[in-house]
Amino acid sequence: MELSRDPQKVISAGQIAGKYKISEHHVAKVLQQLKRIGLIRSIRGINGGFQIAKAPKEITVLDVVEMFESSSSNAPNLLETGENCFDTESCEIENLFSEINELVYFTLKSVSFATLVSPKKIS
């Protein structure tokens, strides 16, 4: 999100880590993953760092969540469910979790980074 605030700006891992008071090493690892999937690009040189590679309106929260998901299913499996239903009650719970996962998936897919970084209008 930080890179989405000003798409033309180049920001270092250290700047992001300092702003949010988190480990620069961790930030650098996440930035490398984002680079690998094409959401950001790295800029070399003395004023180097990272820059968003797509328009913020083209990047969804789902794009980033999927980067961290280990599941190979289409929707993120944010709530673990059993693989088999052994009785009617467990099937009902599993169906509920499947519906919740589907709602989460489509919600994450509908929220762009442009939406997240735009100032909220108070009416």
108: CB partners within 8 A, 6+ apart: 60, 61, 62, 65, 76
- Taking 70 as the pLDDT cut, the residues of the chain under it are 70-90, 119-123
Domain end point (choices 17, 37, 54): 54
pTM score above 0.75: no
Q: Can you give the pLDDT at residue 107?
A: 94
Domain end point (choices 33, 54, 75): 54
Q: Can you give the pLDDT at residue 41?
A: 96
In 3D, which of 102, 105, 11 has the Cα closest to residue 51?
11
Domain end point (choices 28, 54, 80): 54
Q: Can you give the pLDDT at residue 84?
A: 58
Q: Is 22 left (phi over 0), alpha (psi -120 to 50) or beta?
A: beta
Does one domain contain both 42 and 94?
A: no
Q: Can you give the pLDDT at residue 69?
A: 79
Domain count, the chain: 2
Q: Can you give the pLDDT at residue 123?
A: 44
Tokens found for residue 37 = 């999937």
